[in-house]
Structure 1
């Protein structure tokens, strides 16, 4: 992919009642579409639309409910000229979303569901393979690794090979280390420190740390809506470490920070 002065910024559109940071704020199609337009105006390069929360302890939703939540939003944003991502673990939802206008399947389950690999290959869309230990309901109960960086790296590369063997083009694959998905604070920090290593395999990294709990663990248990500074610090580090796209709630502030960092770097 073409080298950019800064990573792309992906704005989050959660069409859910229970996401950890903004659950319920955009829980109908009209409000979600309006929010999507606001994120575009703020400078988003991509929008990521999700209809099932994957926060720690979240309960799954049915495919029918997820489709009802996300498809009208994708259809409402498909004419904006901004590429759209569908954040789902379900192949049926991904198929309908791509038909409605999405061009990236952002799968926290790394295409491990039944028929997911075959569906991704058939759709021919971009895919993001993320690492998650366990499932959202239990992933933060007691995550344990021998070597978190090596294990996440090995998992992601194995999922790349499974996807390629199924017919997914290597050029369509993104990787995400899954900050906060079955990881302690120590695990998250180790993975962030290792981003250059993970980026060195030739696949663009999608990095998501916006408003996540590890920030509160380092800053007096700050609530989700008071984690902007930590989110931007993580985004800037990811940009310096080779991430290709940063997934965030606070688009305008992140874009501004990345622009300033890129301008400083270009002046050296």
Structure 2
């Protein structure tokens, strides 16, 4: 039956009133009269320009923002302006969270302090790691500019710093009794050795790689890196493709310094006056 006008509105209001007074909810069993659907999100959106946090939901939103900001700041390649913006955002979020927790009861403060401390430690370690990579990259770039004047010993140091900046644990060996390994590397479960050949002229041939392969097996290494300032013969390159040996020649060294060392080794993408 079609319903029009005030009579229909009155019937609708009466139906709504009746439903609100009903002691049960027809769509579920065992739910009391006060049952309500739970909220999917507990956090309120974080407001960068807000002077302070005022509710627990805003605190949760600030923590979510902080987790993302710390991850993005220290796990990604960023421009200088992006780094500066995230540094300010992280510092601002920590400040507002600390002020909010000081005003809360002890139980709520204790429930969040461990998470805040963890994020603060993660940010501190991230800063130290980035700064360490930056310093290593600058030293490597300086040595790269002086590559033609390095001694074999300083070339080994240069290669060791290069691999350290790439995330390896580095042990310089060299000298007599090195068993064909100038440097030993570890990263996770990977164990590798490095042989450094500082040649101003000449080409590294397959006989040297065959001898190096014996060192790889003798050291029970998963992989070997043969690093030289010169180049490799075609026979040497073909030999390396069939064995767990990676070749790093002069041009490849330049690529590693400028690309694989992370944010500290890359030139800023914007002008210095930006």
Same fold (TM over 0.5): no
Larger relative CO (CA 8 A, sep 6+): 1 or 2? 1
Question: Taking structure 2 as the reference length, what is the TM-score of the superposition?
Answer: 0.30
More helix by share: 2
Question: Taking structure 1 as the reference length, what is the TM-score of the superposition?
Answer: 0.30
